[in-house]
Amino acid sequence: MRCLQKNILIKAPHVPGADNGICDALSRFQMTRLRSLAPEAAYIPDSISSFLWNILTKEQQYLQWQALP
């Protein structure tokens, strides 16, 4: 919703799960499969810094938005 309000366009290509096993396993909460595909992945996820959390959840007081031409 924030992107619509600020006239920001985000484009992301679809990558089929068969070609993107790690993301597919994460999105399905298949932790055993994830560990086999990415054994270096952290067992305890990193926390989001309070600065970033404020940006994501509150009014965008830290950023200046520029509308797309």
Q: What is the 3-state secondary structure (H, E, C) of 3-64?
A: HHHHCCCCCCCCCCHHHCHHHHHHHCCCHHHHHHHCCCCCCCCCCCCHHHHHHHHCCCCCCC
pLDDT for the residue 21? 93
Structure tokens at 16: 């089929």
pLDDT digits (tens, 9 = 90+) for 34-62: 999 999 988 887 888 888 777 777 655 54
Q: What is the pLDDT, as a whole number, of residue 39?
A: 93
Q: What is the C-alpha separation between 28 and 17, in angstroms, rounded?
A: 10
With cut-offs at 50, 70 and 90, classify the pLDDT of residue 5. confident
CA separation, residue 37 to residues 5, 30, 54 (Å): 39, 11, 33
Q: Which comes out higher in pLDDT, residue 9 or 24?
A: 24
Q: What is the mean pLDDT of residues 19-28?
A: 90
